[in-house]
Amino acid sequence: MRILVVEDDDRVARGLVTALRAASFDVQRVATAERALSAPSADVVLLDLGLPDADGIDLLRKLRERPQTAIIAVTARGEERDRVRGLRAGADDYVVKPFGVAELLARIDAVLRRTRTARAEPEQADPRCGSGR
Ligand code: CA
C-alpha cells in the first residue's frame, strides 16, 4: 500500500514516515502542494491542511479527483471549521494534531477497508444497461 504524506513540518513528517514504514507501508513524503499534485498516485494521502504554498482545502479538492485515493486530512487542534471544510471537500477522514500513531494506523486501515469494498462492488451506473438514454 502506498501512502503519500503531505506535510511541511520536517519534524512531524519524519515521525510519520518512520512510523508508517515500520507498519510496512510504502511511503513518500512531500512538503508542498505543488509536489503533492505531481507525486505518483497513492492509496492513501495524509494531507496536512496547513501548507505554505496553497490552501489545503483547494489541494484536497484537486486530489479528490483521483477516485482510487483515500484522503485523511490533518488539522491542528481546535480548528473545527477546518475539519468540517475538509470533510465537505471530500476527505474520507481526519486526524487532529497531535495524534498518536496507533490512532492514525487504525484510521488508515479503516479508510482502506472502505475504498477496497467500494472497488469490489459492481458498477452501479453501467451506461450499457442503464436508463435507455
Ligand atoms: Ca503545516
| pLDDT tens digits for range 51-97 | 999 999 999 999 999 989 999 999 887 778 888 999 999 999 999 98
Residue-range domain boundaries for the chain:
2-120
Residue 129 CA, ligand 1 centroid: distance in Å: 47
Q: How far is residue 125's CA from residue 51's CA, in Å, rounded to a whole number?
A: 37
What share of the chain in percent tops pLDDT 70? Answer: 91
Residue 62 CA, ligand 1 centroid: distance in Å: 18
| Assigned CATH for 2-120 | 3.40.50.2300
Q: How far is residue 21's CA from residue 101's CA, in Å, rounded to a whole number?
A: 12
Confidence band for 45, pLDDT divided at 50, 70 and 90: very high
Given a cut of 80, whether residue 47 has pLDDT beyond it is yes
- Say what the pLDDT of residue 92 is: 96
Given a cut of 80, whether residue 122 has pLDDT beyond it is no
Given a cut of 90, whether residue 131 has pLDDT beyond it is no
Residue 132 CA, ligand 1 centroid: distance in Å: 49
Residue 51 CA, ligand 1 centroid: distance in Å: 5
Encode pLDDT of 15-26 as tens digits. 999 999 999 999
DSSP assignment, residue 65?
T
Which of 20, 50, 18, 53 shows the shortest CA–CA distance to 35? Answer: 53
| CA 95 from centroid of its chain's CA atoms | 10
Residue 92 CA, ligand 1 centroid: distance in Å: 19
DSSP assignment, residue 77?
T
